[in-house]
Amino acid sequence: MPFDPSRALADLRAIADLTGGRDTGGARRVCWTDEWVKARAYVQAELAATGAQIDRDEAGNVWAYLRGSGDGMVIVGSHVDSVPNGGWLDGVLGIAGALEVLRATSEAGTPPCTVAFVDFADEEGARFARSLFGSSAVSGFLVPEELADLRDRDGQRLEDVLRGYDVEISEVLKAGSRLDGAVAYLELHIEQGPVLESEGLAVGTVVGTVGVERLRAHFSGQAAHAGSTPIRQRRDTFLAAARTALELREIALRHDGVCTVGGATSTPGVVTAVPGRTEMLVDQRHIDADTLTAMKAEFVAAAERFAAEEGCTVELEQIWRIEPIPFDPGLIEIARSAVREVTGTDRTLPSGPLHDAAEVARTGVPTVMVFSSSTNGISHAKEEDTPIEHLELALQAYGLAADRVIHGAGTA
């Protein structure tokens, strides 16, 4: 029996019935909660029916293995967890697709290489504000000491909460051994943005996740009376920040990237004073590392120029950064040809959001993702949706790509 998208769609509906979907106020599968466990239990029962061996690693990720006749291991997976009142597709579309890969593979007999399913724990970081928990434990980029004392909204410590789910924070990096022998990782996901839909496309191939530069700009000038200080004698930090913000849009357009001013705060912050200090939060993203470096340099130059022109100074503080994470060229070609055969279209795009796939790719395991369209580009909300025909096409393309990788893995 070949890969059957209708069985994956049935899984998606069953998970939504169990733990929330579009018609019930949104998904309730926040990681480290009872409803997350309930959704995982459904998936594990379905995995067990394929004859796969199921177990959990030290970071709480669920794995299921169909042993192959030869060497190598192809991994398929995503995450069951959601944000509060989340969408019915984020994460679980990839889980349903990966589950169906195991079903179809097991029905076809012993695969030529081992096929592993993974449900990564706490991709969303909804409770403790640390995304990609399970996958970064596997990749080795997680730092347990930084996490133990994180607290949720009710003041509960991460270390204590995880212990309730049999996860010892000091042990989680041992999960890294799960990638031993891995030759490929394939993940299906919704786009969570408007690009495919705006071009009338159902499916796209993801070439990697974008790099991020996140900075805080501190503009310093001089607070002064709003009535007595002539315009030309002001040192107005808000104006310096505002002119920089406008230039950030031009930088983004020039490089086909994105720049966001997430917020700006001025002091003294009263209508009768020229703002003497302004702090501005800036986020820049691009798929190409050199271009991202250029975008950051142009931002810094603009901030310094506009600060000087307004009689102010500026200091830039790096808050966070991550390199672009390109996916594997060979797997991208396999995914593109599968998408082309199933849909008649061939669109590649970078992912703005990070995904578990990015963590796997960082370890050097060849990785690729397939995206379905997202209606109105909305995600992390109960309105999240994708036309059923697009889900079917995306599942079909993903299943075809996975099948080709599994059957090519032994010879690659």
Name the residue nearer to Zn ion (CB basis): 20 or 91: 91
Closer of 91 and 276 to Zn ion (Cβ): 91
Measuring CA to CA, how many Å separate 144 from each of 27, 123, 134, 337?
A: 28, 16, 11, 40
CA 179 vs. chain centroid, Å, equals: 19
Asked whether position 91 contacts Zn ion by CB under 5 A, the answer is: yes
At its nearest, how many Å lie between Zn ion and the CB of residue 99? 16
Shortest Cβ 92–Zn ion spacing (Å): 9
Q: Which stretch binds Zn ion (CB under 5 A): 57-65, 90-98, 275-283, 310-318?
A: 90-98
Options 33-41, 86-94, 158-166, 295-303: segment touching Zn ion (CB under 5 A): 86-94
Q: Least CB distance from residue 374 to Zn ion, whole Å? A: 11
Helix (H) or strand (E) holding 289: helix 289-309
C-alpha closest to that of 3 among 400, 333, 412, 409: 400
Element (H, E) at 74: strand 73-78
Which range, of 2-10, 87-95, 214-222, 324-332, touches Zn ion by CB under 5 A? Answer: 87-95
- Stretch near Zn ion under the rule CB under 5 A, chosen from 29-37, 85-93, 177-185, 376-384: 85-93
Token pair recorded at residue 255: 């490089």
Q: How far apart are CA 330 and CA 74, in angstroms?
A: 14
DSSP label of 375: G
Tokens of 391: 């889900």
Q: Which residue is nearest to Zn ion (CB)?
A: 91
CA dist 125 and 147 (Å) reads 11
Task: Give whichever of 91 and 112 is closer to Zn ion, judged by the CB atom.
Answer: 91
Smallest gap from Cβ 176 to Zn ion, in A, equals 21
CA dist., res. 306 & res. 311, Å (int): 9
Of the two residues 238 and 398, which places its CB atom closer to Zn ion in the complex? 398
Stretch binding Zn ion (CB under 5 A), from 88-96, 110-118, 250-258, 323-331? 88-96
How many residues bind Zn ion, per CB under 5 A? 2
- Cα distances from 341 to residues 94, 190, 227, 407, in angstroms, run 20, 20, 68, 18
Choice between 72 and 91, CB closer to Zn ion: 91
Q: Which of 90, 236 has the CB closer to Zn ion?
A: 90
d(C-alpha 110, C-alpha 96), whole Å: 21
Q: Closest separation between CB of residue 355 and Zn ion, Å?
A: 6
Contact 211, 287 (CB under 8 A): yes
Nearer to Zn ion, 131 or 260 (CB): 131
Structure-block tokens of residue 277: 């200090």
Is residue 104 within 8 Å of 399, Cβ to Cβ? yes
Q: Which is nearer to Zn ion, 90 or 122 (CB)?
A: 90
Q: How far is the CB of 10 from Zn ion (least distance, A)?
A: 21
Nearer to Zn ion, 196 or 240 (CB): 196
Only one of the segments 13-21, 51-59, 83-91, 244-252 lies at the binding site for Zn ion (rule: CB under 5 A); that segment is: 83-91
Phi, psi of 111 (to 5 degrees): -75, 160
Sheet of 277-286, strand order: 258-267, 277-286, 211-220, 313-322
Beta strands (DSSP E) in 158-287 are 182-190, 203-209, 211-220, 224-225, 258-267, 273-274, 277-286
Stretch that binds Zn ion, among 27-35, 91-99, 151-159, 174-182 (CB under 5 A): 91-99
- Closer residue to Zn ion (CB): 57 or 90: 90
Taking the C-alpha atoms of residue 283 and residue 317, their distance in angstroms, rounded to an integer, is 12
Among residues 58, 90, 359, 385, which is the contact residue for Zn ion, using CB under 5 A?
A: 90
Q: Establish if 86 lies at the interface with Zn ion (CB under 5 A).
A: no
Please tell me whether residue 191 binds Zn ion under the rule CB under 5 A: no
388: enclosing H helix or E strand: helix 388-409
> Nearest distance from residue 68's CB to Zn ion, in Å?
28
Whose Cβ is closer to Zn ion: residue 35's or residue 279's?
35
Binding site for Zn ion (CB under 5 A): 90-91
